[in-house]
Structure formats: C-alpha cells, structure tokens
Amino acid sequence: MPIRTGPVVVPTAVIKRLPMYYRYLQVLVDQGLERVSSRELSQLMGITSSQLRQDLSYFGEFGQQGYGYKVTELYQAICEILGIEKQYKTVLVGVGNLGRALINYQGFSRRGLNLKGIFDNNPAIIGENINDFTVRSVEELRPYLQKEAIQIGVITTPASAAQKIADLLIAGGVTGIWNFAPQHINVPEDVIVENTHIGDGLLSLFFKMKHQERLELK
Amino acid sequence: MPIRTGPVVVPTAVIKRLPMYYRYLQVLVDQGLERVSSRELSQLMGITSSQLRQDLSYFGEFGQQGYGYKVTELYQAICEILGIEKQYKTVLVGVGNLGRALINYQGFSRRGLNLKGIFDNNPAIIGENINDFTVRSVEELRPYLQKEAIQIGVITTPASAAQKIADLLIAGGVTGIWNFAPQHINVPEDVIVENTHIGDGLLSLFFKMKHQERLELK
DNA sequence: AATAGATTGTTAAAATATTGACAAAGTAAG
DNA sequence: CTTACTTTGTCAATATTTTAACAATCTATT
Ligand SMILES: NC(=O)c1ccc[n+]([C@@H]2O[C@H](COP(=O)([O-])OP(=O)(O)OC[C@H]3O[C@@H](n4cnc5c(N)ncnc54)[C@H](O)[C@@H]3O)[C@@H](O)[C@H]2O)c1
Ligand SMILES: NC(=O)c1ccc[n+]([C@@H]2O[C@H](COP(=O)([O-])OP(=O)(O)OC[C@H]3O[C@@H](n4cnc5c(N)ncnc54)[C@H](O)[C@@H]3O)[C@@H](O)[C@H]2O)c1
C-alpha cells in the first residue's frame, strides 16, 4: 500500500525506513555534526548509500553535489515528512505495566506526542498521579475525547478489552490508534491503526539463534 | 540475509512474518479451533492465501488437500520453527519503566523466555523484589552470566549505557541480545542483536495520519 | 578562474517478493 | 466405490525493491 505524497507515489518499503532515518539523524543533530554524506550516514545505518539517496529522492532534493547533506536541514526535512510538527493530541488507555512505561518515557514528547489524558477501568488506580497525569475513569473517556478534540488513542489494555476501547475511541472522534495489545482491531476506513507487537522481536531473536550456524548470504 | 533451514533457503520476508503466524495461531489454539484452511487463516491475518501457503512451504508440508491444516499441529510446527521450545536462559539489565513492564509481562514466559535474573546499577533499587525476581547489582552480572550459562540478554538501560552493557553480556558468554535502547550496538559476528524500537510505531502512525487523505493503492 | 575531487539525484539492471493458476491429492457423501 | 468438491503445494508470471553505475554539478584549492 504505497502512499502518494504530493505528486509522487512512495513505496511501502521506503516508508518503513523513515523512522530509522529519524533516529539516526537525531543522534547526529545531538552530536552537533554539521554535514554528512550519503556514504557516511548509510554506513552508520547499515544500508547502502544508493538506497539512502533513492529513498530521499521520493520526497525532494535535500543534498548538494560534492558536499553532502546539512545534518539539521535533513533532520528537519525528515521531521516534516513524518508529520512530527503536527503535535497530535493523544490519550492512553490502560495504565498497567506497559502503559506506565510509555507515560514516563520522555522520547515521545520529543517526537511530538502531545499526551493529554490517561484512562483505566480499575478503581484502585483511578485518581493516581503518574508523571503529572491523573488517571481518569474510562467512563469519562468518551466525553473527554470530544471536549479536548483528541486525535490519537494509545491502547495498552489486555487484548480482551482492545476492540471495545477502540470502538470508544473512534466514537469519540479519534482517527489514529496505536495498539499494543496482541489483538486485531477492526476500524472504519478513515481510521488508521498502527500495531506494535513488542513480543515479535523476541521470536525473531529465537529464530535467528536457533538457525544461527546456518545463517547464510544467498 | 536469507537463512538456510535444513536444505532450503528461506527469504527474509518470510522470516519476518513468522511471529505473526505465531500470534494468530495462538489465538486459534486458545479458541479450541480444530482445523483451518489457508483461505480462512489468511483472511484473519490480512494476507493472501497464496502467500500463506508459499511461506509454509519453505519449512515443510503441514496441511492436507481438501481439508486444510490441523490448528494445533500447525501451531506446534511454527513454535518448532521459531525455536520456542529451546527455553533460552535470559537476564534483563536496566530495571526502569520499560524493564519493569517486560519483567511483569506473562506473554514472554509463554513464548519460552526463561528469565533468570534482573540487574541495575542504581543502588536505590538493587535488592528490590519485582515479580519474584530480586534486582541485582550490575557488578554481579559478569560472574552470574557464566555461572548460570545465560544465553540471552535484554537491554532496557538508557542508550548511553547500552554498548557497555552489551560488551559485558558478550564477555559473559551471551550470544543473543534483545535491545530496546535507541542505540546501535556493535557485536562480534557470532552474536545476534535484535533491536526493538518501540518509538518507530508512533512515527509510522504520524506519517500515515499526515498523508491519510492521499493514501492510495498503486 | 581553472582544475581535481567529491557527491548528488536518477536511470535501468538485477535481485527479491508476491500473486494467480492449477495439477495432484485429499475429503465427504451418496 | 464413485463422484463432486475442496484445498494443498508448487510453478511461473508479475510486481516490487535494491543496487550499481554515471552524468551533472557542486566544493575546495591553487
Ligand atoms: N508489558 C509488556 O511488556 C507487554 C509486552 C507485549 C505486549 N503487551 C501487551 O500490552 C497490553 C498491556 O500489557 P500490560 O503488561 O501493561 O498489562 P497490565 O495488566 O499491567 O495493564 C493493563 C491495564 O489495562 C487496564 N484495563 C483493563 N481493561 C480495561 C478497560 N476495559 N478499560 C480501561 N482499562 C482497562 C487494567 O486495569 C490495567 O491497568 C496487553 O495487551 C499486553 O498483551 C505488554
Ligand atoms: N519507556 C518506554 O516506553 C520506552 C520506549 C521506547 C524506548 N525506550 C528505551 O528503553 C530504554 C529504557 O527506558 P526506560 O523508560 O525504562 O528508562 P528508565 O530510565 O526508566 O530505566 C533505565 C534503567 O536503567 C538503569 N541503568 C542505567 N544505567 C545503567 C547501567 N550502566 N547498568 C545497569 N543499569 C543501568 C537505570 O538505573 C534505570 O533503572 C531507554 O533506552 C529508552 O530509550 C523506552
């Protein structure tokens, strides 16, 4: 499912690499590096310089022949492409182990996540304070979403509750869902679901370790 | 980097889908479903039945013409392929927000993760008990790894400590690292690193929301 | 201002991945 | 036991992704 941005159709494979570009460029920005060539950056990232240049070319021309890329310019371009400057208003539902980790993580506000409220259905934790947020009851979720014009909902409830919460979020006007529950969520066409399956990484590691001795370049 | 399992070379794209097969089959097993066809399962998963059959064919023949697949058999086959039965001995380093979420998560022991010990360098939390584990000092890490013959290390420290911890793990004989820090880790050839960048999912969501109206099938 | 060297953006060739089609081989039911 | 139906595993066609190559164009230095 490639995406048309402006006049150009961008392949899915390219889109999947954008967050990686963001991560590596952020490091270079923090280091205060002024310029970088496609060869240097691609070596850091473990990809070919050809792929890096090809990927960027879908979005515009960001470099200069004979010079390379200005790090801050390229970083800002990637931020712009990703939509980081949009500051989407967000709620999180399910203040358990994972929910708390996300709420306390500073990296997300840097990425432009504007967390406005956190919700749970467990009376024992409603009212609790976590990193300046007070846990609200899911009963209040629906009206809260509309009052605050929330755009993104993060689901960190057990899988059994995920669809119900998604329905609530959508009814409240949310158009993007970041789902951590290992549960497929059905949504209308105009709502976007991004699933993050943390456990998948572990299984990939298992597989590679089991077949390690047989690892082979084709 | 395709992988040879037995006599056959398995494409990377197939390997990346294996954890998804695991997840969906686990649901069917839990539901007590006896049989499933490639058409049914692929529809659940949002892929083509052709791809499902093609993927499985790299590992053997698991179905029967005219019948489909026996759910438990296929599930066990996927578990076997992934190496879930291996029960790799594991430590976790960095008992912060994310570390605690992982330690408390039940899904990982089901996947065959055999967590043996958890470590941190913050005196304030060394000695604390979390889900039957006592937080140990990183000072004890190196000898512990060898004594217990640990195979996998999970890194949930800040990025700044990740390489140092990885070096320690490798020196102690670990051959698999599951890294959550947004930091590239250099390792010798025989050590496998699996990076899980939780934040990437958020950026993908941002991108898709920003370009939503332009979403387009090629 | 001229020249040597560097590096981009783009093209097209090569490599991978996905899909549709179908023979082979089973099931299920009379 | 036969027939109609289902569904697999595989093949090959199609589509997508990656890579190598290079003209164009900039930098840096004399
Ligand atoms: N913790 C991890 O490391 C981890 C890893 C991979 C996947 N996950 C997935 O993330 C999700 C959360 O995991 P967790 O470990 O934080 O679980 P958890 O049990 O610690 O937290 C779940 C929270 O959701 C709340 N909740 C339950 N039903 C609700 C409802 N209907 N409305 C609002 N809140 C509700 C609970 O009260 C609890 O606070 C699960 O789906 C889990 O499978 C977690
Ligand atoms: N929390 C999240 O939701 C989240 C999301 C994406 C990525 N991450 C990444 O995961 C990692 C952990 O995040 P967190 O939110 O749990 O951070 P955290 O600060 O809550 O926890 C880090 C823990 O590591 C310990 N530590 C620091 N240096 C150490 C060392 N040298 N040896 C042993 N322990 C050490 C600290 O004492 C602390 O307990 C970070 O790299 C972060 O970027 C976290």
Q: Which helix (H) or strand (E) holds A51?
A: helix A49-57
Say whether both B96 and B192 belong to one domain: yes
Top residue of B86, B206, B209, B217 to mutate, by most chain A CBs within 10 Å, is: B206
Say whether both A112 and A21 belong to one domain: no
The whole-angstrom distance between residue A149's C-alpha and the CA centroid of its chain comes to 20
Q: Does residue B113 fall inside a structural domain?
A: yes
Say whether both A28 and A55 belong to one domain: yes
What pLDDT sits at residue B101? Answer: 97
- Ligand 1 atom nearest to A183, measured from its CA: 41
CATH code: domain of residue B174: 3.40.50.720
Q: Does residue A207 fall inside a structural domain?
A: no
Say whether both A128 and A177 belong to one domain: yes
Q: Does residue A102 fall inside a structural domain?
A: yes
pLDDT tens, A25-73? 999 999 999 999 999 999 999 999 999 999 999 999 999 999 999 999 9
Count of structural domains, chain A: 2
Residue A160: CB within 6 Å of ligand 1?
A: no
The residue type of B120 is D
Whether the CB-CB separation of A185 and A163 falls below 8 Å is answered with: yes
Please give the structure tokens belonging to residue A79: 């931020």
CA distance B67 to chain A (A): 26
Inter-chain touch B204–A15, beta carbons under 8 Å: yes
Q: Does residue A7 fall inside a structural domain?
A: no
Strand C contact at CB of residue A11, distance < 7 A = no
Q: Does residue A137 fall inside a structural domain?
A: yes
Strand C contact at CB of residue A216, distance < 7 A = no
Give nearest CA residue, ligand 1 atom 17.
A96
List of residues 6+ apart from A166 with CB closer than 8 A? A153, A155, A177, A179, A185, A186, A187, A193
Say whether both A70 and A169 belong to one domain: no
Whether the CB-CB separation of B102 and A98 falls below 8 Å is answered with: no
A46 CA – D19 C1', rounded, Å = 14
Residues A206, B111: Cα–Cα separation, whole Å: 10
Q: Which of B92, B98, B130, B133 to mutate to test the pocket of ligand 2 (most atoms within 8 A of CB)?
A: B98
Contacts of A202 in chain B (CB under 8 A): 108, 111, 113, 178, 194
Residue B98: CB within 6 Å of ligand 2?
A: yes
Strand C contact at CB of residue B70, distance < 7 A = no
Mean pLDDT in residue range B74-101: 96
Collect the ranges in chain A with pLDDT lower than 50: 1, 215-218
- Ligand 1 atom nearest to A159, measured from its CA: 41
- Whole domain around residue A61: which residue ranges? 12-84
Domain boundary among A29, A50, A84: A84
> Global pTM?
0.95
Say whether both B20 and B61 belong to one domain: yes
Nearest of B17, B28, B88 to residue B59 by alpha carbon: B17
Domain boundary among B84, B118, B145: B84
Say whether both B178 and B140 belong to one domain: yes
Q: Does residue A18 fall inside a structural domain?
A: yes
Say whether both A124 and A31 belong to one domain: no
Give nearest CA residue, ligand 2 atom 17.
B96
DSSP string over chain B: --EEETTEEEPHHHHHHHHHHHHHHHHHHHHT--EE-HHHHHHHHTS-HHHHHHHHHTT---EETTTEEEHHHHHHHHHHHHTGGG--EEEEE--SHHHHHHHH-THHHHTT-EEEEEEES-TTTTT-EETTEEEEEGGGHHHHHHHHT--EEEE-S-HHHHHHHHHHHHHTT--EEEE-SSS-----TT-EEEE--HHHHHHHHHHHHHTGGGB---
**Gap between the terminal Cα atoms of chain B:** 28
Whether the CB-CB separation of A178 and B188 falls below 8 Å is answered with: no
CATH code: domain of residue B23: 1.10.10.10
Burial class (CB in 10 A: 0-12, 13-18, 19+), B149: exposed
Which pLDDT band, with edges at 50, 70 and 90, does B218 fall under? very low
Q: Does residue A47 fall inside a structural domain?
A: yes
What pLDDT sits at residue B217? Answer: 31
List of residues 6+ apart from A72 with CB closer than 8 A? A29
Nearest of A28, A48, A29 to residue A38 by alpha carbon: A48
Which pLDDT band, with edges at 50, 70 and 90, does B15 fall under? very high
Top residue of B84, B106, B205, B211 to mutate, by most chain A CBs within 10 Å, is: B205
Output the CA–CA distances (angstroms, integers) from residue B176 to A164, B57, B170, in the order listed.
37, 28, 9
Q: From the CA of B103, which ligand is nearest?
A: 1
A63 CA – D24 C1', rounded, Å = 14
Say whether both A68 and A140 belong to one domain: no
Judged by C1' against the alpha carbon of B61, the nearest nucleotide is: D9
Say whether both A119 and A150 belong to one domain: yes
What pLDDT sits at residue B9? Answer: 87
Q: Does residue A50 fall inside a structural domain?
A: yes
Mean pLDDT in residue range B82-88: 91
Chain A, nearest residue to B202 by Cα? A178
Residues A84, A110: Cα–Cα separation, whole Å: 9
Contacts of A218 in chain B (CB under 8 A): 1-2, 9
What pLDDT sits at residue A116? Answer: 97
Say whether both B58 and B26 belong to one domain: yes
Domain boundary among B32, B56, B84: B84
pLDDT tens, B117-136? 999 999 999 999 999 999 99
